[in-house]
Structure 1
Amino acid sequence: MSVTTAPHLNFRGDAREALEFYQKVSGGDLAVITYGDMGNAEDPDQVVWGQVRGGNGFHVMAYDVPAARPFSRGDDPFFVSLRGDSAEEISALWDKLSDGATVVAPLAASPWAALYGMLKDRFGITWVLDVAA
């Protein structure tokens, strides 16, 4: 079992451009899933999830905040992503991080992961936890 952390960068419409830039910077592999790929007709070309991962350890994730959700680049520019191999591992981390936290999305099954959840901890840091697909 293992857990990895990565910065999860938030954009409004330019996540793909940023990820392509970070790919050029790092030489890593690019993966992008759009809202359209997930069956969402609203903003179908926007990035629902993307990442650049290099063999040298470089790793960033990113997405385009949906238009229906408030967003200010200066107020919420990133999340910290915790990805684990097992539901037990992620659930245990969730239970500890949620002490004094505000739950943004409850830890539950999602279309892209066995478990996915988001919370803002008592220090104001937003964490995204999921089980690797």
Structure 2
Amino acid sequence: MSVTTTTHLNFRGEARAALDHYLSVFGGRITSVTYQDVGNVRDENEADWVVWGEVVGDNGFHVMAYDVPSSLPWDQGSNPFFVSVRGDDTDEISALWQKLAEGSTVVQPLEPSPWAPLYGMLTDRFGVTWVLDVAAPYNG
């Protein structure tokens, strides 16, 4: 038996746009189920919002997303989590960074750091903070 961790992102009406964006960055397949699809429409303006969605990439990338209905409290928050994307190839991480950085606010540019060959942090246009780095052996 194995357990995996998948980042689950909560939005208010932007889940589909976020999933489409992440699909354009990481590739893979998108699955999206709306409130209308499951017969749980409480507000007609939210019928096409995502009740459950995900992007799954052949490269191991996986993220889930959900639109919190207006009947429930939701606050985008301030740094409630980071999504970490770690690889072992500087070209691959650099290419992902370039795509993800479009429309984002760079917190820390992608560059060599004392602990990794490449490390960077940005907050995308959906308010999600991403950390991208190239893994380095730990020499504790």
Change beyond 3 A, Cα 1:65–1:77: farther
Deviation at 1:44, TM superposition (A): 1.3
Aligned ranges 1:4-15 → 2 under 5 Å = 4-15=4-15
Cα deviation 1:29-61 (Å, max 9, x = unaligned): 000001111101222101000000001111100
Please give the alpha-carbon distance, in whole angstroms, between the structure 2 residues aligned to 1:19 and 1:68: 22
Structure 1 segments of 4+ aligned residues over 6 angstroms from their partners: none
Deviation at 1:2, TM superposition (A): 2.3
Identity of aligned residues (%): 59
Q: Which has the higher contact order (CA 8 A, sep 6+)?
A: 1
Residue number in structure 2 paired with 1:31: 31
- What TM-score, normalized to structure 2? 0.52
- What TM-score, normalized to structure 1? 0.55
Equivalent residue in structure 2 for 1:63, among 37, 58, 66: 66
Aligned ranges 1:1-133 → 2 under 5 Å = 1-42=1-42, 43-74=46-77
Deviation at 1:75, TM superposition (A): 5.8
Please give the alpha-carbon distance, in whole angstroms, between the structure 1 residues aligned to 2:22 and 2:64: 10
Letter in 2 for 1:27: G
SS of 2:19 mapped into structure 1: helix
Please give the alpha-carbon distance, in whole angstroms, between the structure 2 residues aligned to 1:75 and 1:35: 27
CA RMSD of aligned residues (A): 1.9
Change beyond 3 A, Cα 1:76–1:37: farther
Cα deviation 1:84-104 (Å, max 9, x = unaligned): xxxxxxxxxxxxxxxxxxxxx
Structure 2: where are the runs of 5+ without partners? 82-140
Please give the alpha-carbon distance, in whole angstroms, between the structure 2 residues aligned to 1:75 and 1:9: 14
Count of aligned positions: 79
Letter in 2 for 1:74: G
Deviation at 1:28, TM superposition (A): 1.2
Structure 1: where are the runs of 5+ without partners? 79-133
